[in-house]
Amino acid sequence: MAYISQRGDYWRAEIRRRGYKPVYRTFDTKQQAQKWARRIEGEMDSGSFVDRSAAERTTLAEALTRYRTEVVPEKRHPYQEERRIDKWLKNDLAHRTLANLRGADFAKYRDVRRAVGRAENTIRLELQVIRHLFEIARKEWGMEGLPNPLDNIRKPSGSKARERRLRPGEFDRLKALLSASRNPWVAPAFELAIETTLRQGTLFRLRWEWVDLHNRVVRIPAEARGADNKGVPPVLPLSKRAVSVLRALAALSEDADERHARSKDGPPDIRTDLVGPVFATSTNAVICVWKRALRHASESDPELLTLRWHDLRHEAASRLFEKGLNPLEVASITGHRSMQMLKRYTHLQPEDLLKKIG
């Protein structure tokens, strides 16, 4: 039998039963306390009772803080998860307890984010953080009876497949604008993104220790490679143009005095002793210059604003097919392990196909 007592302006219901941990809760009225007690005792009688006290005490902000400490460090891209958590901590829902959150709350969040123009995939990833948090709380934090509110709403569809490629003249125009920047690493990064097919993250993590210009390959260690369709090949072959760009970067990486001394003996040879990052700049610095160049170029050609850095990977994969490589050969360069995903990154020009079909 539940014990219900008044504590000042509130009513406290407490249930003690053999085989169960004592449970209690405070309510505004006696009727609310009695209703709760009857429900809990009914669940105990049927053997379906699950203690919800932890979920009722834990706010979303507290759960996110714990999630950040215990789960995020094991993620492949913890920095991105950190940013999404920071956004959630600033949201009003962060002050609510886990047990008090409903699917309707997150459906409203989804609709608000859409209304301000956020991409479907961005919203999907933000909601995925919360969904995973609830699963961890339910499975590992002792909140077995906690339902996952994200299971009850329609999820954003995710990113739409892009088909953007460089149009005639865009490569030369962008290269000229990027070369005029005070950051000497931007234009070479732009070219290498197309010549190597590397994603932004891997491209800017390249190290000279991995580069073998003599044999025209980049040997990427296992710890620097991703998994599934985010992977890169262990050995990446380099085109002649890629080697030329890397030669220029090697010269840029040398100390000015050493470069001057080497120039007395004629043209510099391929360096084999360089260590450290290939790009002595940050990813953010390069992307900032890239976006400024697009805005400047779009003054006469607004279509350039539709170009994204990741579209360079689409361009790279398509160029490999246009050179005559078969799908397995292209996949060995791009790192795709699924032909379906490789197809998504390949956009052949109709003019080139017409030449082949006759």
Q: Angle, nearest 10°, between helix axes 103-115 and 120-140?
A: 160
User: What is the pLDDT, as a whole number, of residue 351?
Assistant: 64
More confident residue, 92 or 76: 92
pLDDT class of 354 with cuts at 50, 70, 90: low
Stronger pLDDT, 40 or 298, i.e. the higher one: 298
Banded pLDDT at 232 (limits 50, 70, 90): confident
Q: 36 pLDDT band (50/70/90 cuts)?
A: confident
Using a cut of 0.95, tell me whether the model's pTM lies above it: no
Higher-pLDDT residue of 311, 262: 311
Q: Residue 179: what pLDDT? A: 94
CA angle at residue 135 from 131 to 136, to 5 degrees? 115
Q: Are strands 3-7 and 235-237 parallel, antiparallel or unpaired?
A: unpaired
- Predicted confidence (pLDDT) per residue in 7-23, tens digit: 888 888 888 877 777 77
Comparing 10-19, 70-79, 153-162, 279-288, the range with the smallest average pLDDT is 153-162
For the segment 198-217, the average pLDDT, to the nearest whole number, is: 91
pLDDT of residue 256: 38
pLDDT tens digits along 281-293: 999 999 999 999 9
**What's the rounded mean pLDDT across residues 229-247?**
86
The answer to whether the CB of 324 falls within 8 A of the CB of 349 is no
Q: Which of 109-118, 182-191, 337-346 has the lowest mean pLDDT?
A: 337-346
Provide the token pair at 173.
């125009």
Half-sphere exposure of 134 (CA within 13 A, CB side): 20
pLDDT reading at 143 higher than 60: yes
Count other C-beta atoms under 10 Å from residue 89's C-beta.
14
Q: Which residue has better confidence, 349 or 311?
A: 311
Mean pLDDT computed over 40-56 = 72
pLDDT at 63: 94
pLDDT at residue 257 is higher than 60: no
- CB within 8 Å of 93: residues ≥ 6 apart: 60, 101, 105, 106, 109
pLDDT at 160: 64
pLDDT band at 30 (very low <50, low <70, confident <90, very high): confident
Domains with residue ranges and CATH for the chain: 3-49 (no CATH), 57-152 (1.10.150), 170-357 (1.10.443.10)
Mean pLDDT (the chain) is: 84
More reliable by pLDDT, 41 or 235: 235
∠ CA(267), CA(196), CA(345), 5° rounding?
160
pLDDT tier for residue 229 given thresholds of 50, 70 and 90 = very low
Mean pLDDT across 334-341: 75
* CB proximity list for 164: less than 8 A, separation 6 or greater: 306, 307, 308, 311, 314
Sequence-ordered list of residues with C-beta below 8 angstroms from that of 169, at least 6 positions apart, any chain: none
Q: Residue length, the chain?
A: 358
Question: What pLDDT is attached to residue 259?
Answer: 47
The pLDDT assigned to 262 comes to 52
Say if residue 131's pLDDT is above 90: yes
pLDDT of residue 272: 56
Q: Percent of the chain beyond pLDDT 70?
A: 85
